[in-house]
Structure 1
Amino acid sequence: MKVKVINLENKAAGDIELAEEVFGLAPRADLLQRMVKFQLAGRRAGTHKTKDVSEVSGTGAKPFAQKGTGRARQGQKRAPHQRGGGVAHGPVLRSHAHSLPKKVRKLALKTALSAKQAEGKLVIVDALTSADAKTKLMASKFKALGWDSTLIIDAGEPEANFALSTRNLPRVDILPESGANVYDILRRDTLVLTKSAVESLEARLK
């Protein structure tokens, strides 16, 4: 499919041919849900923890005789039902991450790119450069382009002045092509790719 290329001045800068096998797939909400769940599960800290009977402070001795006191029998003061005792079946340190086949992850990324293209929210620019590191100037350009909630992906690390100009803009994220992921693509309204990023993504995902 052929798509128009623009520059940061919102002027035409030619056309580019997008690969159907990367940007023309049918929507698959189930794949996107699985991938987002996989990414967010990997981010969870899993550091919630309580002390069980073996970890709380206190003696393990029997608090009083088994018989003759008229009280209910007790084995130790660290038991879960005792005041100051351990927690029964409490949370422990663990990883929430789970596995997902590489083919599924690859297909999910292609599906996310295709979804943005199908919605008309994919923008291709020729290059991302700035003569000056001025946030106000870049903000005015983004406003003219209609880029509010935007993810920008370049082939490598962004040009220095452009990175400095955009790093304080709210709701604008910049990633190298190697860091492109489903969650960040979906959480922003507009996806902006450079021509070099398109070439790199197609070479990686075909």
Structure 2
Amino acid sequence: MKVQIKNLDGSAAAGEIELNDAVFGLEPRADILHRVVTWQLENRRGIARGARERSDVARTGKKFGRQKGGGTARHGDRKAPIFIGGGKAMGPRVREFNISLNKKIRALGLKMALSSKAQNLVVVDSLELADAKTKALAATFAQAGLNGKVLVIDGEQVNEGFARAANNLVGVNVLPAMGANVYDILKHDTLVLTRAAVEKLEARFNG
């Protein structure tokens, strides 16, 4: 699949780029994408610090009062949750969310996510800006018709000036090619790739 390379302002640049159909031309499958997104979100979940419950507290288990005549309840030990220093009643427990997913499924999911954005895919030569300012970049995006949520993926590293200018633009996110993932690609309306990003992504799967 051939795509015309553009400038950031939407004007056509010199040349075209051939996109690998094995990466950008697959038919997306909802079940594969769902599995990969679920895997990503599960692995992002934080783990609560477990509280010490009644069985975890090191306090005496000896009956500390008389059964009758003391004027108080008939407690058996100091581990009860109602006492200071006692165990926590129904406290948070440690839960592990590190689910596993086959590498082939993860790779296939990323290919399908890239393929799903083929109709809204923009390939630019580079992210070099003459004026690395947020206002100037917003005007450039408006001129190019890039509205809504836009994900920009660069090569080995994101262009520093572009990243700084895009930092305050609502709905615009920037990632290096190594950080490309299914969840971020699917939740944006438009995908913008640099020539270096295309090369990195295709090499990632061919390697």
With normalisation by structure 1, the TM-score equals: 0.85
Q: Structure 2: any 5+ residue segments left out of the alignment?
A: none
- Hey, what's the Cα distance between the residues in 2 that align with 1:29 and 1:75? 57
Match of 1:159 in 2: 159
2:198 corresponds to: 198
Structure 1 position 56, deviation (Å): 5.1
1:108-123 to 2 correspondences below 5 Å: 108-117=109-118, 120-123=119-122
What is the SS of the residue equivalent to 1:37?
helix
- Aligned-pair identity (%): 50
Matched AA of 1:111:
M
Tell me whether 134-143 or 161-170 shows the greater mean CA deviation: 161-170
Q: Could you say which residue in structure 1 is the equivalent of 2:99?
A: 98
1:143 equivalent in alignment to 2:110? no
CA apart distance, 1:132 = 2.1
- What amino acid does structure 2 have at the position aligned with 1:139? A
Letter paired with 1:168: N
Per-residue Cα deviation, 1:44-71 (whole angstroms, up to 9, x for no partner): 11125333014458643224456899x9
Name the CA distance, whole Å, in 2 between partners of 1:165 and 1:131: 11
1:34-49 correspondence to structure 2 within 5 Å:
34-49=35-50
Aligned partners of 1:199 and 1:138: how far apart in 2? 25
> Residue deviations 1:161-192, cap 9 Å, x none?
22222121111111110111111111211111
How far apart, in 2, do the equivalents of 1:73 and 1:135 lie? 70
Could you report, residue by residue, the CA deviation over 1:90-125 in whole angstroms, capped at 9, with x for unpaired residues?
Answer: 4323431211111111111001001111xx221111
Report if aligned partners of 2:9, 2:141 keep a CA contact under 8 Å in 1.
Answer: no
The AA in structure 2 aligned to 1:25 is: L
Task: Name 1:133's counterpart in structure 2.
Answer: 132
CA distance in 2, matches of 1:83, 1:191: 58
**AA paired with 1:30?**
D
Please give the alpha-carbon distance, in whole angstroms, between the structure 2 residues aligned to 1:102 and 1:66.
63
**1:108-167, Cα deviation, whole Å (9 max, x unpaired):** 1001001111xx221111111101221111101111222231110011222232222212
Q: Quick check: 59-68 or 194-203, which moved more?
A: 59-68
CA contact under 8 A between 2:10 and 2:145: conserved in structure 1? Answer: no
Aligned to 1:182: 182
Partner of 1:78: 79
Moved more, 86-95 or 147-156: 86-95
Structure 1: which 5+ runs fail to align? none
User: TM-score, normalised on structure 2?
Assistant: 0.85
Number of equivalences? 202
